[in-house]
Amino acid sequence: MSNWKKIIVSGSQAHLSSVTASNGSIISGSLTMSGSIVNVNNLDFNMTSTVPSAAGRFVWDDGNGSLDLGLKGGNVNLLLGQQTYARIFNAEATTLNKGEVVYISGSQGNRVSAKRADYIGEGDSATTIGFVAESIASGAEGFIITNGVLENLNTVGLTQGKLLYLSSSGQYSETKPIAPQHTVTLGYVERVHATVGSIYVKIDNGYELDELHNVLTTGVSNGDLLMYSASLWKNSKQLSGSYGLTGSLQATSFTGSLQGSASYALQSLSASFATTASYVLGGGGGATVTNPGDNYVITSDGTSGGLVGEGNLSFNGSILNVTGSVIANRYTGSLQYFDYNTNTNTSNGIGIGLSATNNYYNGVGIGELAQSNYSNGVGIGYYASSNYNGGIGIGFLSANNYDIGVGIGYGSQLCNNYGVGIGAYTRTNGNGPGTVSIGSYSKAERQNEFVTTATNSSVNKAQSIIQKFREKSLASSGGVLQELFTDDSSARVTILASSVYQFRFQINAIETSTFVCKTWEVVGAIKRDASNNTTMVRNPIYIVTSAEAGSANWDVTVDADDTNEALRLRVKHDAANNVIFSATIWATETRI
């Protein structure tokens, strides 16, 4: 046999106990061999073979350009040099499906165990290992791919060439996770198809900051900075070294010295700092803020009360006198400002200006001699004083405005009890809410009165008036007239001595159940002489401007009340339910 050039063995039952083959021996059909094959120089596979792959079979895959080895179970084929597979134990309670992403959860026997990976937590993502390559029942073993192409997937909805990221419950996405979700890259979309789609698997689990070789963190807490020290990045809340700053700096604690531009040094010392022991410069010794190049920085020599300013700031331990400007975020206590004789403002009072003194209990005086504003009163202007109980006076000599009254203008005074005066020497004289005086020397004489005038004389001869009567709900009056007032009980339209008062009433009445309405206008004039005789100049003119059915017996009467020196309005009705009456006067008043 040593001279044979070829051995041809045909048939499925052919059997040789010992063969030495050389020079291109050809075996066709099926050959069962026992023992070993030794001294093989090379094996050439038929690159045109159509033999299908199967578990335990090694065939040429011309499409992928590699040898194809069928793995256990017959569901997975290994392309030599192109793929890496691992056999794992399914530790989930359900079947792992092909294409799901898994992480190493532990081990079972001789296999690592795996579960579905998830980007939510470190434990479910840090050991992500690959994609499931075949369906693996719960508690069974199967193959996963850790590198290379995974074929025969549904990749519809993905974009060819896109990077894939781990998502939730073993899924993947083209959307990059956002911290605190964990970023794990899985590979790339190779082909988009409903049944033969493919993914190139390349797992990168990403890193926590403390997993980097040149980062060392211990006891991490909110607000930590990452500082470089001795070839390592370390967490710290302490800055060490010299730093530049662009912008503003806000701090709740400070140790050492702060040096910088004038604007930094000025704004860094707000009044709130001074209420904390660690910020009281000169009070405890050693605290220093310096910047020798400007005239705005406070410095301390380290002794109690030894706080002084460069050029235009001085401090004697209890009072800070300032020439120039001060910027503060807030203050506690009293602010006494800018000139002499301002040091008697107490109890959160503020005085700003020459001799702006004795402002207290949250009172504010702004202007020379703006004094004695207290109990939330505010005076703004020269001698704007004695505004209290929420009163506000704005203007030269705007004083004695109180009880939520407001006076605005030169000499606007006695605007009180919710009254408002706007204009020089305006008054509301305590006539209550709704009382307004507008114009120089205008003066409200009655409650709920809106007064306006145009004069520069202290002897006010004439005013225009709008006055509101308080609405009143009346039960059936049985034909008896009942008086309406400008307040809830007794305030009347009092006629001034030596004056004439021309008026136009508008009066409304509405029944509260049926909404029947009636309206009137009444025009007339009333006067009061120097002997306090109050009479009508002539009988009023009554005009019924509207009257609905059911209101025929409703009536109004306007006359002179000589006893109370007033213009009187009385009303009546016969309705079964209440009728609400309301009235407004437009008037011109002239006095001697």
**For residue range 280-320, what is the model confidence (pLDDT) as tens digits?**
333 333 334 444 444 344 544 444 444 444 444 444 444 44
Mean pLDDT, residues 241-248 taken together:
77
* 168 inside domain: yes
Least confident of 19-33, 116-130, 137-151, 304-318: 304-318
What kind and span of H or E run contains 159?
A: none
Looking at 204, 225, 254, which one is the last position of a domain?
A: 204
pLDDT at 77 over 80: yes
CATH of the domain at 120: 2.40.300
Of 429, 430, 412, 411, the C-alpha closest to 421 is 412
Question: What is the reported pLDDT for 456?
Answer: 65
**pLDDT (tens digit per residue) in 401-412:** 788 878 888 777
Report yes or no: 437 and 422 within 8 Å, Cβ to Cβ.
yes
The total number of structural domains that make up the chain = 3
545: confidence class by pLDDT, cuts 50, 70, 90 = very high
Asked, for residue 53, whether it belongs to a domain, the answer is no
Verify that 99 and 184 share a domain, yes or no: yes
DSSP string, 424-493: TT-B-TT--TT-EEESTT-B--STTEEEE-----SS--EEEEEEEPPPEEE---TT--EE--SSSSS--E
Q: Is 456 inside a domain boundary?
A: no
Mean pLDDT of 241-246: 78
Residues 199 and 273 in one domain: no
3-state secondary structure 142-157: EEEEEEEEEEEECCCC
Mean pLDDT of 98-106: 96
The answer as to whether 99 is a domain residue is yes
Q: CB of 360 within 8 A of CB of 346?
A: yes
State the sign of the Cα–Cα–Cα–Cα dihedral 297, 303, 306, 310. Answer: negative
Helix (H, G, I), strand (E, B) or coil at 321: strand
Do the domain assignments include residue 84?
Answer: yes
Residue 339 lies in a domain: no
Mean pLDDT over each residue of the chain, to the nearest integer: 80
Q: Choose the final residue of a domain: 292, 321, 350.
A: 321
Which residues have C-beta within 8 Å of that of residue 437, sequence separation ≥ 6? 415, 419, 420, 421, 422, 423, 426, 427, 428, 443, 444, 451, 452
User: Is residue 253, in this structure, part of any structural domain at all?
Assistant: no
> Is the domain of 69 the same as that of 142?
yes
21-25, 244-248, 383-387, 391-395: the lowest-pLDDT one: 21-25
Domain that includes residue 62, residue range: 58-204
Q: 170 or 440, which is more confident?
A: 170
pLDDT bucket at 81, cuts 50 / 70 / 90: very high
200 and 278 share one domain: no
Output the pLDDT for position 509.
Answer: 94
Specify whether 473 is located in the same domain as 577.
Answer: yes
Do 199 and 68 share a domain, yes or no? Answer: yes
Percent of the chain topping pLDDT 90: 40
Q: Say if 441 falls within a structural domain.
A: no
Mean pLDDT comparison of 46-50, 239-243, 539-543, highest-scoring range = 539-543
Q: How confident is the model at residue 25 (pLDDT cuts 50, 70, 90)?
A: low
Shared-domain flag, residues 169 and 292: no
Choose the final residue of a domain: 321, 340, 357.
Answer: 321
Q: What angle do CA 237, 240, 243 make, to 5 degrees?
A: 105
